[in-house]
Structure 1
C-alpha cells in the first residue's frame, strides 16, 4: 500500500511565507515543494481582490506542474489610509519589492495620525486547488487586527511585522516567538481554517 504523502506545490517565492506554511501544515500529511524548485516563475498579480490573486497564483502553479497547488495573497490594510497598502502591500514603495522602503513609506504616510486612528489589520486568503481546472477550490481567510506603530520594533518576522502592534500582547508582530506568532497571525488563522476544511474534504 502506497503511503507516500501527497505532494503540494506552494505558489510563492517568499521565504517567510514558505517557512510559515511548512511549520503550520507540517503534520497534515503533505509533502511541500516550492514552485521555484520546479522552475515555475511568479505570475503577474492582476486580480482586484486578495482571493482573485491567490487563485491566479494557484492555477498557474497547478497548470505548470500538474500538482495540487497552495497559494495565498495577503496584505496590510490601514484604516486611516482607506485600506492601503492593501493589494499592493509588497510593492507599496515600488519595484522591486523592498520591506524597509515599504515601512518607511507607511510611517511617513502615518506621521501625523494619532494612536486612536492608527488601526489596521493584516488579511490572508489561502487557496488550495486540486488541479488547475478545479471548479471548487478550498478557500480560507484569516485576519489579525492591530495598530501601526510610530517606529519599527523587533527583529523577527518579515514585511510590515516590525510596525504592526498586537494591542492585547503589546508586542509588534516582529517581537513574538515564531510559534506564538503563527498561532495569532492572519496566515496562521487562515491555515488553521484550511486544515479544518481539509479534514472534511481531503485531497
Structure 2
C-alpha cells in the first residue's frame, strides 16, 4: 500500500518560482499547500545520481530531512536514442557555458546545437527518435519514499522552431504532431508532456 501525503503542507524541492507555481496549481484541488525549499532557505543538494529517479530522490530526501515535512521533487531531461540516451540526467549541464563560451549561465540554443551536431556526425539516415522524461519523487522525513515516472516520445527536428517553450522544446516534435513543443499552445503541451504523465500517475496513486 503506497503511503499517502494526504492534505496539508508539502515542500516542493525547488528554488524556481515558475516550477512552484505550476506544481501548486496541479496539487491545489487536492488540498495541498505547497511551500518551496527556496522560501525555507534550504540548500540545493548536489545531484550526483546517474538516473532521473536517483536525482529526484536526492532532492526530495534532502528537503524532507531539512524541513521535517513531506517533500516532492522532480528531475527531468531529454534522451536521444541514437546518442545512447544522452544527454539524459546531464540535460541541463549540456547548456552550461564553459569559461570560453561567455558569461556563466545556460545557453539552450548551444545545447540544442550540440545534440544536432552529434546527430549530423552520425549521418543523414540517423534515427532521430527522442523522449522527454520526468520523475516526481515524494519523500518523508522518516526515509520512506515513492517515485512516479512520466515520458513523452517524439523526434528531433532542425532548425529550432517556436518561441513558447524552453530548454530543448524548439527541436522536440511529440509523436502524432508536426509542431515542436515550442510551437504548441502551453495548455496543450501541458496535457501531453512528460510532466503531465508523471503527475497523472501521482494523482491516481495518491488521491485516487
Interval containing the TM-score (normalised by the shorter chain) = 0.7 to 0.9
**TM-score, normalised with respect to structure 1:** 0.87
Higher alpha-carbon deviation: 10-19 or 58-67: 10-19
Task: Determine whether 1:145 maps to 2:153.
Answer: yes
> Alignment partner of 1:147: what SS?
strand
Q: Does 1:11 align with 2:13?
A: yes
Unaligned runs of 5+ in 1: none
Aligned pair partner of 1:25 in 2, 22, 27: 27
Q: State the shift of 1:115 in Å.
A: 6.6
Given that 1:124 and 1:142 are in contact with CA atoms closer than 8 Å, whether structure 2 keeps it comes out as: yes
Larger displacement relative to structure 2 (144-153 or 104-113)? 104-113
Q: 2:135 aligns with which of 125, 138, 147?
A: 125
In structure 2, the CA distance between the partners of 1:163 and 1:14, relative to structure 1 (3 Å rule), is farther
Question: Residue 4 of structure 2 aligns with which residue?
Answer: none
For residue 16 of structure 1, report the CA deviation from its aligned partner.
4.8
Q: In structure 2, what is the equivalent of residue 79 of structure 1? A: 81
The 2-side partners of 1:173 and 1:16 are apart by 18
Q: What is the distance in 2 between the residues matched to 1:122 and 1:155?
A: 18
Contact 1:16 1:158 in 2 (8 A): no
Per the TM alignment, residue 80 of structure 1 is displaced from its structure 2 partner at its CA by: 0.9
Instruction: Tell me which moved more, 117-126 or 12-21.
Output: 12-21
Contact 1:124–1:190 at 8 Å: present in 2 too?
yes
Say which SS state the counterpart of residue 40 (structure 1) adopts: coil
Among 91, 98, 113, the residue aligned to 2:107: 98
What TM-score, normalized by structure 2, do the two folds share? Answer: 0.85
Match of 1:107 in 2: 116
Which residue number in structure 1 is paired with residue 174 of structure 2?
A: 166
1:180 corresponding residue in structure 2: 188
CA contact (8 A) 1:138 1:194 kept: no
| Superposed displacement of residue 160, structure 1 | 0.8
Match of residue 197 from structure 1: 205
Q: Counterparts of 2:111 and 2:17 in 1: how far apart (Å)?
A: 18
Other structure's SS at 2:120 match: coil
Q: Paired residue for 1:63, among 65, 72, 79?
A: 65
- Counterpart Cα distance in 1 of 2:143 and 2:158: 44
